[in-house]
Amino acid sequence: MSRHCGKCDRTLRYDERDEFVQEQTPDRGTWGYQACPNCVAVMNGWPAPPPRIYPVGTRVPHHPQHPGQDLPICGLCRLALHEDEAEDPETIRLYAADVADVPWLSFVRDGQAFGCCRECLTLLKPRVLARLKAQGIVPETLPLWAFGGEAML
């Protein structure tokens, strides 16, 4: 079961701590809920906390529910996965040309497949589809391997 913020309904990442807050509203009275770090910062007038990035070669914390396993992280942006995507992360196959203008993805080599978070998938899926269409490959004709029931690109 994944945790969600009671204010913005965003699924939390495994390394984010939620915080119990109480809010007074005219129509609902006092009510309490678990809030994500971003909502807590907004309520207190603080800047949003930066996400924790786990660069290649650094120690990744242990998984909170599975002792002995590392925290599931995105293979591209190196952020912890959201709790609702960690058991079955999306897979994307990239080529260097797909990410040539993205400096933080300079490590990608042709044909590498990565387990990635939904934000990276949203950023990169249109680029991969454009490359395949330029090559004359129609994604619907590829074998079904991953990508949420679509072909692994």
pLDDT band at 37 (very low <50, low <70, confident <90, very high): very high
Supply the pTM of this predicted model.
Answer: 0.77
pLDDT score of 140: 65
Structure tokens given for 137: 């490959």
Distance of CA 102 to the CA centre of its chain: 17
With b for 16 or more beta-carbon neighbours within 10 A and e for fewer, the 95-112 pattern comes to beebbeeeeebeebeeee
pLDDT above 50 (res 71):
yes
pLDDT score of 150: 47
Element (H, E) at 39: helix 37-44
pLDDT score of 28: 78
pLDDT score of 112: 87
CA-closest candidate to residue 112, choices 127, 88, 95, 125: 95
pLDDT score of 141: 56
pLDDT score of 39: 93
Dihedral pair phi/psi, residue 25, rounded to 5°: -125, 150
pLDDT band at 148 (very low <50, low <70, confident <90, very high): very low
Q: Which residue has the higher pLDDT, 136 or 41?
A: 41
Each residue of 103-120: pLDDT tens digit? 888 899 988 888 889 899
Rounded to an integer, the average pLDDT of 30-47 is 92
pLDDT score of 142: 57
pLDDT band at 20 (very low <50, low <70, confident <90, very high): very high
